[in-house]
Amino acid sequence: MNQILISKRIYVTKEMKRKKMTYKILYILSIITVIILLGYFVMAEAGRNEQEALGQEILEQISNDNTTIQDRAIVISLDETDYNPDEEEIIPIESEDLESDTVKSTVKTKDGNSYDTEAILSFPRLGIKYPVLSEEDDKLLKVSLCKYWGPSPNSIGNYCVVGHNYKSGKMFGKLSNAETGDEVKLSDLSGRTITYSIYNKFKVDPTDVSCTSQLTNGKREITLITCTNYGQERLVLKAREI
């Protein structure tokens, strides 16, 4: 027995004690790191849930509220012609653009902030339904979908909408599951709803904005844009009025 105890003492060297302590410290640090990351994830998700609630609050208000603010917006005529009923002839459009009313609603939420909205976008098959805010910036993108470019909702041209791609599926998080032929509905706040069908799906570099082109051959189109591949690319869905 004494020989065994002596042998153990011989093999437990200072170097082994140092390594054992190092491993213990690394183990404790790894646990702390995991706890911090989990805490960050939980807090971030809680923040997203709060922002999601704001978006749904806006959606509920504009769905039930008939009070609107009218604004003027430019709609580009892409076939370069306009019919004049007084002269009963086709008149080419040179420098003048067609105008139409954009009906907007300013919604004040429980957080005390006001948001200008102009449409409701729904993607029935993927369960997506959000208000479209009239402007786009980092703060607004956390609340709901935002208009990025284009004419007033459901007008001739290319109405472009951007939204975050959350792994939880919120906002445009399910957009990667979209397929050609899927239907997307856009409701403007005048009460008109138009159904669009997806005809193209592709990825582009973040600096490529060609998908926002207004050359639609006189058709109504919408473009849905979100981040993909960890923000290194943009996923683009093109849809045309049915």
pLDDT of residue 119: 96
pLDDT of residue 51: 75
What residues make up the domain containing 63? Answer: 2-241
Considering only CA atoms, which of 217, 227, 100 is closest in space to residue 172?
227
Return d(Cα 49, Cα 122) in angstroms, integer: 19
pLDDT of residue 64: 74
pLDDT of residue 171: 94
Our count of domains for the chain comes to 1
From first to last of the 242 residues of the chain, give the pLDDT tens digit: 555 555 555 566 778 878 888 888 888 888 888 887 777 667 766 667 777 888 889 998 888 764 444 443 333 333 333 334 343 333 333 333 333 467 899 999 988 899 999 999 999 999 999 999 999 999 999 999 999 999 999 999 999 999 999 988 999 999 999 999 999 999 999 999 999 999 999 999 999 999 999 999 999 999 999 999 999 999 999 999 99
What pTM did the predictor assign? 0.71
pLDDT of residue 62: 87
pLDDT of residue 21: 84
pLDDT of residue 10: 53
CATH number at residue 42: 2.40.260.10
pLDDT of residue 128: 96
pLDDT of residue 68: 42
pLDDT of residue 4: 52
Considering only CA atoms, which of 138, 144, 164 is closest in space to residue 50?
144
Contacts 24+ apart (CB under 8 A), 147-152: 147/118, 147/119, 148/212, 148/225, 149/209, 149/212, 150/212, 150/214, 150/223, 151/73, 151/74, 151/75, 151/76, 151/100, 151/214, 152/73, 152/75, 152/100, 152/101, 152/102, 152/118, 152/188
CA dist list (Å): 231 to 8, 135, 205, 234? 56, 21, 10, 7
pLDDT of residue 32: 87
Element at 67 (helix H, strand E): none
